[in-house]
Amino acid sequence: MIIDEQAEFRSLLMHHVTTHWPDAIISAYDPTAAGHLPDEFSGAGNDIVLLGSRHGEERDGVDVLRRFVERENFPPLVYFGTEEDQEEAHRLGPDAHFIRDHISHDSLIVGLSDVLVSRSRVASTGSLFLGDMRTGIHPLIKGYRFVRRLGSTEHSGVYLAERESTHLKVVLKVLRQMPGNDDGIGAFDRFLQEYETIADMDHPNIVRIYDLGVADNHAHIAMEYLGGGDLRLKIDKGIQKRAARQYLRQIASALFAVHQKGVLHRDLKPGNIMLRKDGSIALIDFGLAKKTRLESEITDKGEIFGTPYYMSPEQGHGTNVDERSDIYSLGVIFYEMLTGEKPFRADTAMGIIYLHGNAPIPLLPTRFAEYQALLNMMLAKSPDDRLQSAAEIEEWL
């Protein structure tokens, strides 16, 4: 069901939907011509409701959104608002939210599909998503059977899927933005760079890449499914000293291999370090990786990329970084693996960045004193005072 007073906008949404799902049954509702829907409207009979922000002078789109969101058992709800009302709309929590004047076909189709899958509201007949869900195939990626969504970012969605030809479980990372869009060029280039970076490496502690697809203004990477969770979960549960040492050795080995290829990771953190079922470590998510030998314009415009808790002082201040910046980030992770705490905390990102550059290196508890010298060499403020290669971490251990 599509609800909005503007006929052109209703037609636009209908066009997007029927282009991908030709058999979709759509009801379009004009709240000014047909009258505002009553407060008791439940949305029953619809697999999804697409709610526009225009409802005449008497009603505001956000007010209608609020009423629908508050109704129990309301169908999946997608709101198409304005830049002015997006903060309030986001706070109300529809299943998805788009700016009505900035809709791309691929991002809309992926967004609607995500909503329908995550809410598990697919009907047995006449469903908008029925054609794709019977085979379980992601709407933009052919040859893979959709299992579930794992997560999403501003530029990409991440899914667990099964390759139809081999029944191999994989992780699909799908770029949401069109490469031809001026706002999406950087994201698209970084996405392809991530694939090229990882696929060129054969190392037991780096995630394996199976496939890259680029078609119809979208791209995807199919990579190894790592079923042991991420290092962040391990840290939350507590890591024994021996395990922390083993994890450090494996991550350092992977980093050394990455650096030998002339590549920096630049976003090393527990959430980007995964475990296999056998307990081995695998480095993932090279979306911020950079070929150090190339003069790239993708991320060299002064922006700060990465996660402040794990940033080296030089990265946090937007200056040039090299392999030693990744070593600093690994030092932060090692401290966290041992103690369960981050070495530096503050109320703001800039506060954390300041502490990385100015606060003393924290002392480990006495039971971990044997690792203090190594930690000092990894967390030194100046890159010149740090270990100069990830291979040196093994030597210290």
What the block records as the tokens of 85 is 């009302």
What does 266-307 look like in DSSP terms, one character per residue? ----GGGEEE-TTS-EEE---TT-EETTS--SSS-SS---S-
322 is an active site residue: no
Look up residue 312 and give its DSSP letter: -
Catalytic, out of 4, 95, 267, 326: 267
Rounded CA separation 216/274 (Å): 31
Rounded CA separation 100/13 (Å): 10
| Residue 263, SS3 per DSSP | strand
Rounded CA separation 222/207 (Å): 11
Rounded CA separation 191/189 (Å): 5
Count CA atoms within 13 Å of residue 111 on its CB side.
25
Q: Which amino acid would we find at residue 225?
A: Y
Query: Does residue 382 contact residue 322 with C-beta atoms inside 8 Å?
Result: no
| Strand order across the beta sheet in which 209-215 lies | 144-152, 156-163, 169-175, 218-224, 209-215
- Which residues are catalytic, by number? 267
